[in-house]
Amino acid sequence: MNVKALIICLFLAGPAWAQGFAGLGTEADGFAVPARGLAFDFPADHGPHPTYRIEWWYLTATLTGADGRDYGVQWTLFRSALAPEERAGWSSPQIWLGHAGLTTPEQHFVAERLARGGVGQAGVTASPFHAWIDDWAMQGPDLARRVQVSATGADFAYDLSLTADHPIVPHGDEGYSVKSAAGQASYYYSQPFYEVTGTLSLPDGPMVVTGQAWLDREWSSQPLADDQLGWDWFSLSLEDGSRVMAFQLRQTDGRSYTSGTWITEDGSPTPLPDGAIAFTPLALSDVAGREIPTAWRVSIPSKGLEVDTTPLNTQSWMDTLFPYWEGPIRFSGTHQGRGYLEMTGYE
Amino acid sequence: MMWRTALSALLSHWRYRPVQLATLLIGLAVATALWSGVQAINAEARASYDRAAAVLGQDRLDSLVPRAGNDLSQDSYIALRRAGWQVSPVVEGSIRVGDLRLRILGIDPVTTPPQAALGAFEGGDGLYPFITPPGLAFTSAETARQIADATTALPPLRVQDDLAPGVVVMDIGIAQRLLGMDGRVSRLLLHPDQPLGRASLTDIAPDLQQRSPQAENDLARLTDSFHLNLTAFGLLSFAVGLFIVHAAIGLAFEQRRAMFRTLRALGVPVGTLIALLAAELLILAGLAGVIGVALGYLVASVLLPDVAASLRGLYGAQVSGVLTLNPAWWLSGLAIAIVGAGVAAASSLWRAARMPLLAPAQPRAWARVSERRMTMQAVAALLLWAGGGLAAWLGSGLIAGFALMGGLLLGAALMLPPILSLLLIAGERLARAALWQWFWADTRQQLPGLSLALMALLLALAANIGVGTMVSSFRTTFTGWLDQRLAAELYITAESEAQWQDISPLIANRSDRILPIWNTEITVRGAPVTLYGIADDATYRDNWPLLSQAADPWDQVALGTGAMINEQLARRQGFTVGEEITLLPGWTFQIVGVYSDYGNPTGQILINLPQLTARFPDVERLRYAVRMAPEGVAPLMAELQSRGLTERNMIDQAALKAFSVSVFERTFAVTAALNVLTLGVAAIAMLTSLLTLSSMRLPQLAPLWAMGLTRRRLAVLDLARTLLLALMTMIAALPVGLALAWVLLAVVNVEAFGWRLPMDLFPADWLRLGGLALLAAGIAAALPVRRLATINPADLVRVFAHER
Amino acid sequence: MLLALKDIRKSFQSAGAEVPVLGGVSLTLDTGETLALTGESGSGKSTLLHLIAGLDAPDAGAIVIDGTDITTLPDAARAELRRGSVGLVFQQFNLIPSLSIGANLSFQARLAGREDPGWTEELVARLGLSGLLHRYPEHLSGGQQQRVAIGRTLAARPKLVLADEPTGNLDEATGDAVIALMRDLVTQTGAGFLMVTHSNRLADRMARRVHLSAGRIAE
């Protein structure tokens, strides 16, 4: 019995991590529930919301190395609350989880960190912005404009400088993002316009990289409906400067709930309602002993978009406490560009 | 076909000799039982130590520990994490619940490395109740049962079966509060996988150092001697058991010589015959092995609770009192039975293989004592003694002690037959009457046949005397020490400080003085130590048994500059008078005295009471020693009881002494039980040897009967012979046993228990043991003697018949 | 009359059936008389000898030795009779292996409480055992051992000497010499001598001869 199993035992027995990815449970149980029509309050909302069950600071970057090859980087800090409160010291019910990924055409590096809240090992302050777990950090004067992101694993590390001159982009209805027909929702905003420079530390040596990055911020207490199995989430950077966020939540009845945002070059968002986007798997890959669709056709007829995506590395498997697929993609069709794909709930 | 026919012929022997078959099976089964019983006990104890050691992977993971002091700041932990070091904090400490010392382990389940192997913690209700007050405490079923009724500060208990007994695991935050260690961490577990490019330890936390996993945990090392003792006993019993088997198999072979001859004459090749005999042996040994292992399980489960008590009493080692079955143990028990039978039968098989086809079929009479063999044995014995002495002189520590012991015992066993032979020759020389002359000569003639059994008896008796002397010496010293140490007439434990406030005026009225005994648990050099604060009082100055001391030690304690430590702490940590001892960072005392503290597993430190309360203002102020006139104790206790103080919380001197002595007795109960068992096995060895001899002796006795000695007379003489040999063996065992006692007290004890004891002699015990040995020999001889006394004359006449 | 047997009967149980061995044997022997008891294997001659020696008891009849009917005596008294009045010489010699030759020779005499060093010395000389007194039985030849056994018996001066195939384990020449010597020595002590043998040649050496056939005297 290893500690992973122990923690799963401890966690699974609790309400928060009962189902699905990263503890996206279905019951609110005294936790705060997102409400429509509440405007974001920055920079405070860059910080944590301990009365909500689950929250994340989720960064993905599509990069090009000095060697001309594609790279992908992920940096994520999850917050999971066992109770809707914060306390000082060890009795804090806040649990922090860090995931770092680095994808090359041949390899996919993963690291994971766990921490208790209340003792300083992990946390987030809004202003000046600082999110950290152990030695990993996303730190800057302002999350919306300029941050430094770093993480280390046993066999890789990265250190990236991110800058953006576009404003924050809220999804859904002014940041209120509906996740099912039954009304489950989360608060959700992004900064999809970072320009990146930095260095990757790889087993072969350091690699200077440049590229673009996309930050997702989301918090909620009950985002998944009972009949939802998992999701396929795309962030696409089109060559014309537009950005597309698109996801589908797969249901047990074989259908799915779709949602997305069309973000113009200047950063103004247009929500894409359920049914506005079509997702079609094109190819399955054998990943970690399961079949996963790593190539997709994404169609948004209303925007005249139909692209086929191909992964940089089909084996972009995040072998973490709760495993999932997350990796950089390229796409072509009516539009071309690079992006990131995240898929959860594939057994 | 030939195989089956021949085998059934060979096996038919046992049908006609059920007693012989029983002897063989009993001998082998008993030998196997004692051996595998002891093995089971040792295995169980070792498994408990391993579990204790494996808690939090201390046996596999490196840790970071403070260079000085007992714990580190939680800030250092966070600083290390923030620098990328993958470490997990652990808070350790101990608390007492009743007379049980619990090891508290506070962990952070979120960062604990997978290699820490904490177990599943089933029955937990998730992380939330574990980490938030009051938290949850996981412990073994056994420990949970022991503390179920006690009122403790522990969080609600949950049973976790694969935890070592005595260990209580809880969340680090809960443990910090319980142990008064807020913001402190005992040590950090180091994950085996560390990220790239983290800063060096000296940059982040220069006050910490990396410690490798302890290859062998302290407890295992500490208790090694105890288990070596048990193993030695087990081995001794097994060897003695093999004597029985040897005798029984030898007899069966002798009696079947005619059958062997016939089988071979009928065309069974000698190889086949030997193979068949081996197969027969395998069948019997397998059968006996199964019985033996089952018996061994019984022995172990009966003795285990006492062993557990002993280990707890001596070393504070927590051993489960419940035996777990292990297939490897069963198999090894069977294997040892078969190997043992093979060893015991080797000479018989060898003889059967080399027996000429036309050898006389009659049982071979016992050869006369070979002087050459006796001389060789004597030389071998001297060499063994010399070797043991050399090992003790050149070597050191426990191993040398055991080498000395082994050489002593083995040499003595080998020396026994030559010495007995010499004594019997002297007896024969001195004998006037023909009958007595024959008696001595005949006794000497039986010697080769009986010497194995007598050697077994010698070993059993010597072990008995040696261990008995050690235990009795210990007991004398211990009770004497108790008389000094438990000077106060009454000891009171209040349930609360309010209760004490309530009853203290009454006690003050009735007594001469009230002495607080307040204590707290601290850690010194990584080991738990009980720190006592004592009042400056004549009770201590007059009675406390000091082994070594500085000038005016009690004055220095009273001044608050000196501390007294017990012998265990001094020996284990190498402290001597005059050195400094650091109790907490920056809190240092001069050691001004070392006192004997028998029977206490852990270290102890005495300091002045105000020093204790200044440093630990929250220390529980509940225990007091009351000095008063002895005749006033009973009435005061009765009155206190009416004031609500429970009986459990008042201990008068006499009761405390009785309790301490009972702890002591339990500690050595196992030794006593094994002693008795070994003696029993020696008696069985004697019986089987005598049975073997008695059936071969008929041709020797029949002429005497024909010459006019009645069967009764012959039987009485045979009984006398056995008793004489037992008596002589007992006398020979006396010096051997005393030498063994010396080795145990002066060499082994110091290594094993951490204290040295004066050796006392207990002649009354020897008389009792001598009586016991004669009784055992008499019982062993009873059956063959009775058979001889009532033998059908026709059986004797048959000796003279022509056609033999 | 030294020995008188009156209608001795003895049966053994064998395989559940009564097998008669002696069917009414009567016999007398005087002091100083030598008697050979001959018969085929299984004729009952050894059984008769054992009965006379008190090693076994007859089913019926009387065995009177020196005026005492030993068939009515308790075990202890019969043992005393063997110790004091009767001397036995066996085919197997039956020396005591743990005692030296000297000790073996004087053993029975000392048991009986009438050791006569002069007589023992004479016996040693007559039996040619002088050089062997400190040896042990296992070191001696068969003839030597039998001479020790004879010496042991005669040293106690028994009134009645009983010998059961005393030369059965010896070669003919040695056997003849031993018998001659034994007869002479017994005659010298004046004891009665009854020898069981199946050899006519040896029987001829005795003064009288009785033949036992199928459990009865066929003189």
ipTM of the prediction: 0.90
- B71 close to B369: Cβ distance less than 8 angstroms: no
**CB-closest option in B84, B118, B124 to A13:** B124
Q: Judge whether B690 and B450 are in contact, CB under 8 Å.
A: yes
Interface test with C, best of B707, B711, B717, B791 (most C CBs within 10 A): B707
pLDDT at B312: 63
Gyration radius from chain B CA atoms: 33
| pLDDT recorded at residue B396 | 66
pLDDT digits (tens, 9 = 90+) for A101-122: 999 999 999 999 999 999 999 9
Range from B309-318, B686-695, B714-723, B739-748 carrying the lowest mean pLDDT: B309-318
Residue in chain A nearest B172 by alpha carbon: A90
Q: What's the full length of chain B, in residues?
A: 804
* Residues B185 and B302 grouped into a single domain: no
- Can you give the pLDDT at residue A68? 94
Assess whether B523 and B619 both reside in one domain. Answer: yes
Give residues 58 to 97 of B whose Cβ lies within 8 Å of A: 74, 78, 81-84, 86
Least confident of B93-97, B166-170, B411-415: B93-97
Q: Where are the domains of chain A?
A: 3-343
Based on the domain organization, do B285 and B320 belong to the same domain? yes
For residues B44 and B99, state if they share a domain. no
Interface contact B204, partner A, CB < 8 A: no
Burial annotation B163-184 (CB, 10 A radius, 16+ → b, else e): bbbbbbbbbbbbbbbbbebeeb
* pLDDT 10s digits, A124-149: 999 899 999 999 999 989 999 999 99
B710 with C84: Cβ contact below 8 A: no
Q: Does B134 touch chain A (CB under 8 A)?
A: no
- Give B437's contacts in chain C (Cβ within 8 Å): 99, 103
* pLDDT of A337 above 90: yes
Q: Strand B562-566 and strand B587-595: pairing?
A: parallel
Spatial separation of the C-alpha atoms in residues B60 and B112, rounded to whole Å: 13
Average pLDDT over residues C90-95: 79
B644 touches chain C (CB under 8 A): no
Do residues B744 and B466 lie in contact, with contact meaning Cβ atoms separated by under 8 Å? yes
List, for residues B397-456, the tens digit of each pLDDT value. 666 777 787 788 888 888 998 999 899 889 988 888 888 888 888 888 888 777 777 887
Kindly report the number of other CB atoms within 10 A of residue B100's CB atom.
16
Q: What is the pLDDT of residue A213?
A: 96
- Chain C CB contacts of B424 under 8 Å are none
Percent of chain B with pLDDT over 70: 80
The chains found to touch C (3+ Cβ pairs under 8 angstroms) are: B
Sign of CA dihedral A271, A274, A275, A277: positive
Using a CB-CB cut-off of 8 Å, the residues of chain B touching C82 are 706-708
Higher pLDDT, C135 or A111: A111
B210 CA to centre of own chain: 36
Q: Are B468 and B607 in contact (CB under 8 A)?
A: no
What CATH number matches the domain at A3-343, 3.40.50.300, 2.60.120.200, 2.40.370.10, 3.40.50.2300?
A: 2.40.370.10
Are A115 and A122 in contact by the 8 Å Cβ rule? The answer is yes
**Which pLDDT score, from 0 to 100, does residue A210 have?**
96
Residues B535-557: tens digit of each pLDDT: 888 888 887 778 888 888 899 99
Whether residues B42 and B66 share a domain: the answer is no
Is A91's CB within 8 Å of B131's CB? yes
Contact indicator for B127, A9 with CB cutoff of 8 Å: no
In the structure, do chain A and chain B come into contact, i.e. share 3 or more CB pairs under 8 Å? yes
Mean pLDDT of A246-253: 91
The secondary structure element, H or E, covering residue C83 is: helix C75-84
A303: which DSSP letter?
G
Are B433 and C96 a contacting pair at CB < 8 A? no
Average pLDDT rounded to a whole number, residues B629-648: 82
**Which among A309-323, B594-608, B680-694 has the top mean pLDDT?**
A309-323
Most confident range (mean pLDDT) of A266-275, B673-682, C118-127 is A266-275
**pLDDT range class, residue B359, cuts 50, 70, 90:** very low
Residues of chain B with Cβ-Cβ distance to C50 below 8 Å are 797, 800
Helix (H) or strand (E) holding B553: helix B553-559
Residues of A in contact with B128 (CB under 8 A): 14, 82-83, 93
| Distance separating alpha carbons of residues A268 and C172, to the nearest angstrom | 139
Residue-level pLDDT at B670: 64
A abuts C (3+ Cβ pairs < 8 Å): no
B363 to chain C, closest Cα gap in Å: 15
Please list, in sequence order, all residues whose beta carbon lies within 8 angstroms of the beta carbon of residue A210, skipping any fewer than 6 positions away: A63, A64, A195, A196, A197, A198
Confidence of residue A202 (pLDDT cuts 50, 70, 90): very high
Task: Indicate if B127 and B49 belong to the same structural domain.
Answer: no
B401 part of a folded domain: no
Residue B790 contacts C where some CB pair is shorter than 8 Å: no
Picking from B81, B126, B132, the nearest residue to A10 by CB comes out as B126
Q: Is A272 in contact with A290 (CB distance < 8 Å)?
A: no
- Name the domain boundary from B609, B638, B660: B660
Place of tokens 């026994």: B416
Residue A2 confidence (pLDDT): 27
Task: Write down the pLDDT at residue A10.
Answer: 40
- Which comes out higher in pLDDT, residue C176 or B126? C176
How remote is the C-alpha of A73 from its chain's centroid? 11
The DSSP annotation for A234-265 comes to EEEEETTS-EEEEEEEEETTS-EEEEEEEE-T
State the best of B713, B802, B804 to mutate against chain C, taking most chain C CBs within 10 Å. Answer: B802
In this prediction, residue A190 carries a pLDDT of 95
- What pLDDT, on the 0 to 100 scale, is given for residue C15? 72
Instruction: Report the phi/psi class of residue C214: left, alpha or beta, with left for phi > 0 and alpha for psi in -120 to 50.
Output: left
Residue B275 exposed, middle or buried by CB count within 10 Å (0-12, 13-18, 19+):
middle
Helical (H) or strand (E) element with B410: helix B397-430
Region B472-488: mean pLDDT is: 73
Burial class (CB in 10 A: 0-12, 13-18, 19+), A281: middle
By mean pLDDT, which of A324-333, B113-122, B140-149, B681-690 is the weakest? B113-122
Per-residue pLDDT at A23: 40
Count of domains for chain B:
3
Cβ pairs A/B, distance under 8 A: 119
Nearest to B331 by CA among B285, B296, B289: B289
Amino acid B125: pLDDT: 55
Residues in chain C: 219
CB-based burial of residue B269 (10 Å sphere; 0-12 exposed, 13-18 middle, 19+ buried)?
exposed
User: Between β-strands C86-89 and C3-14, what pairing exists: parallel, antiparallel or unpaired?
Assistant: unpaired
Cα Rg of chain A, angstroms? 19
Hey, is the C-beta of B431 within 8 angstroms of any chain C C-beta? no
Which of the four pLDDT bands, split at 50, 70 and 90, describes residue A14? very low
Confidence band of B322 (pLDDT split at 50, 70, 90) = low
Lowest mean pLDDT among B29-43, B149-163, B283-297, B664-678: B664-678
* pLDDT bucket at A45, cuts 50 / 70 / 90: very high
Within an 8 Å CB–CB cutoff, is residue B432 touching chain C?
no
Q: Which pLDDT value is given to residue A209?
A: 97
* B471, B671 Cβ separation under 8 angstroms: yes
- Partners of residue B700 in chain C, C-beta under 8 Å: 96-98
pLDDT in tens, A266-312: 999 999 999 999 999 999 999 988 999 999 999 999 999 999 999 99
Instruction: For residues B597 and B524, state if they share a domain.
Output: yes
| A118 contact partners, CB below 8 Å, separation of at least 6 | A86, A87, A88, A89, A90, A91, A92, A94
pLDDT at A20 over 50: no
B128 and B39 co-located in one domain: no
Residues B241 and B314 grouped into a single domain: yes
Please indicate, yes or no, whether residues B105 and B229 belong to a single structural domain of this protein.
no
- Chain A CB within 8 Å of residue B597 CB: no
Question: Worst-scoring range by mean pLDDT, A205-209, A217-221, B56-60, B274-278?
Answer: B56-60
Nearest to B741 by CA among B763, B713, B761, B718: B761
Inter-chain CB proximity C55 and B703 less than 8 Å: no
State residue B120's pLDDT score: 46
> Chain A: which residues have CB within 8 Å of chain B?
1-7, 9-15, 82-83, 87, 89-91, 93, 95, 111, 114-116, 119-121, 132, 134-135, 152-157, 201
Residue B668 above 70 pLDDT?
A: no
Nearest Cα neighbor of B780 from B455, B457, B503, B378 is B457
* Distance (Å) from the alpha carbon of A125 to chain B's nearest alpha carbon: 16
Asked if the C-beta of C111 comes within 8 angstroms of chain B's C-beta atoms, the answer is yes
CB within 8 Å: B110 and A95: yes
Question: Which of B108, B120, B174 is the closest to A116 by Cβ?
Answer: B108
Q: What are phi and psi of C6, to 5 degrees?
A: -125, 105
Strands C192-196 and C160-164: parallel
Candidate from B445, B703, B794 with C-beta closest to C56: B794
pLDDT at A11 exceeding the cut of 50: no
- Average pLDDT of span A261-267: 94
Please name the residue that has the structure tokens 């039998």: C146
Q: Is B742 on the interface with A (CB under 8 A)?
A: no
Question: How far out from the chain centre does Cα B643 lie?
Answer: 45
Which domain, by its residues, includes B296?
Answer: 1-55+222-364
pLDDT of residue C167 exceeding 90, the answer is: no
* Rounded Cα distance, C156 and C149, in Å: 12
Q: How much of chain A exceeds pLDDT 70, in percent? A: 91
Computed over its alpha carbons, how large is the radius of gyration of chain C? 17
Query: Which range among A15-29, B91-105, B762-776 shows the weakest confidence by mean pLDDT?
Result: A15-29
- Residue B656 in any domain: the answer is yes
3-state secondary structure A265-287: CCCCEEEECCCCCEEEEEEEEEE
Cβ distance of A135 and B82 shorter than 8 Å: yes
A103 Rama class: left (phi>0) / alpha (psi -120 to 50) / beta: beta
| A8, A87, A90, best to mutate vs chain B, most B CBs in 10 Å | A90
Find chain B residues with C-beta within 8 A of A154's C-beta: 193-196
Mean pLDDT of chain B: 78
pLDDT digits over C11-65, tens only?
887 777 888 888 888 989 999 899 999 888 778 888 888 888 888 888 899 999 9
Residues B567 and B643 grouped into a single domain: yes
Per-residue pLDDT band for B366 (boundaries 50, 70, 90) equals very low
pLDDT, average across residues B564-571: 84
Same domain membership, residue B74 and residue B48? no
Chain C closest-CA separation from residue B676 CA (Å): 36
Q: Which residue of B has its CA nearest to A152?
A: B195
Q: Does residue B447 lie within any of the structural domains?
A: no
Tokens 């404009």 sit on residue: A145
Domain membership flag for residue B614: yes
Domains of chain C: 31-57+73-217 (3.40.50.300)
Q: Which residue has the higher pLDDT, B627 or B114?
A: B627
Residue B355 falls inside a structural domain: yes
Tell which of B60, B74, B78, B82 to mutate to test the A interface (max A CBs under 10 Å).
B82
Asked whether the beta carbons of residue C138 and residue B793 sit closer than 8 angstroms, the reply is no
More reliable by pLDDT, B265 or B420: B420
Query: By C-alpha distance, which of A332, A188, A170, A163 is closest to A263?
Result: A170
Structure tokens at B743: 């080795």
